[in-house]
Structure 1
Amino acid sequence: MIDPTSAAASAGTRAIASALLKKSPARIAPRLGGREERREVYARYVRAHADAASFAQLLRTEKKLAPLVMGQGRIRALLSMTQERQTEMLSAYLEIRLVANPGPLAAADDLMSATSALMDSGPSTDDAVFLAALVKAMDAQRAFTDRCREDLWYSPQWWQLYRPSWWAAKWKQLRGK
């Protein structure tokens, strides 16, 4: 016969263990290489490149407005901020290399090249060259975002015929035009 005390203790232990396992970090954290983790990495990469492009424009404006007034302290501060942007871009790129699928990875390579060219062309070239580099970087960012959307299945895939919310939104969009 089973002792009632040990049966109650065993049931209590199972209940506590079950509750703790449900709250464990392994269940809460995103699956390695899963869509949620890739989405976070892709978003960090896009933010890093948007920040770098914006910073290149700031450098360009500073060069135009204050060539004679800029002191050594401001130059050092700008160099430090440039280094921070480049470090963040490289860190985000290395993270992309770790988790991205081949399509977004190829687009990330193109985006890295375009944004690096933009940062390099920033203060030293004429307006036409800078604008061409800026347009190329923005186009590369758009292409990267589109590749990420495909990779994360934000749009229906060819085999997904039944996606009622997506079809309803498309129908509303078509009727609204």
Structure 2
Amino acid sequence: MDPTIGSAGIKAAGNISSTLLNRYRPVGVVRTGSTEDRAQAYRRFLDAATHGTLPSHWIRRLNNTSGTEGLTNHLLATQTEATTELICALDGIRLCAPDYVIAKAEDLMRVWAPNTEATQEEFPQILQATTNARMAFLDVARHDLNYEPKKWHLLARWKESRYLKKAKGASTQSVLGQ
């Protein structure tokens, strides 16, 4: 048997088997987007959640001040844009994220929703709850993207603890130097 014929046969068999494996799509298996797609969707959602909260705060502060109608109208338009962006970002997360990340994103939306109707007195509690929900979403997103260090990454954990000790020492030294 000629070696070129044998290698061509193996190559053809490899191409056929890889084609069959690539077509294999089991029914009922939940698919998520790629890591890059999910990271981009998570960033977009976190940005929209942050940008949607800030105009609400300033609208409440400027509402009782005379002569700020133009700025208030601009902030209302900004808040409307941010709300739209937040809803679109949530849809992006629903498209590519696993269920537990979607649940935390929807929790953040539930906490964020009363933001627009809150009074000046209620707003700090809603802002704190929104921040807590945003941090919970960030933790779940970091877990989904495998951004947290693993237990067996001893070198990374050692470098992190060394950096934190060094940073703490530098901040203590700067305070004492003042």
Shorter-chain TM-score range: 0.5 to 0.7
Q: Is the 8 A contact 1:52 1:119 kept in 2?
A: no
**Cα pair distance change 1:62/1:75, threshold 3 Å:** closer
In the alignment, the residues of structure 1 paired with residue 98 and residue 157 of structure 2 have an alpha-carbon distance, to the nearest angstrom, of 24
CA RMSD in angstroms comes to: 2.5
Q: Give the Å deviation of 1:144.
A: 0.5
Other-structure match for 2:156: 165
**1:147 counterpart = 2:140:** yes
Q: What 5-or-longer segments of structure 2 have no aligned partner?
A: 1-31, 170-178
Other-structure match for 1:90: 87
Q: Is the 8 A contact 1:103 1:151 kept in 2?
A: no
Q: Give the Å deviation of 1:143.
A: 0.5
Other-structure match for 1:51: 51
Q: Give the Å deviation of 1:82.
A: 2.8
Q: What is the number of equivalent residue pairs in this alignment?
A: 137
In the alignment, the residues of structure 1 paired with residue 61 and residue 114 of structure 2 have an alpha-carbon distance, to the nearest angstrom, of 17
The alignment's TM-score, normalised by the length of structure 1, stands at 0.67
Alignment of 1:41-80 (within 5 A): 41-66=41-66, 69-71=67-69, 76-80=73-77
Q: Give the Å deviation of 1:115.
A: 1.4
Q: Is the 8 A contact 2:48 2:86 kept in 1?
A: yes
Alignment of 1:126-141 (within 5 A): 126-127=120-121, 129-141=122-134
Q: What 5-or-longer segments of structure 1 have no aligned partner?
A: 1-31
Q: Give the Å deviation of 1:79.
A: 3.9
Give the residue type in structure 2 aligned to 1:106. Answer: A
Other-structure match for 1:35: 35
Q: Give the Å deviation of 1:55.
A: 1.2
Q: Give the Å deviation of 1:162.
A: 4.0
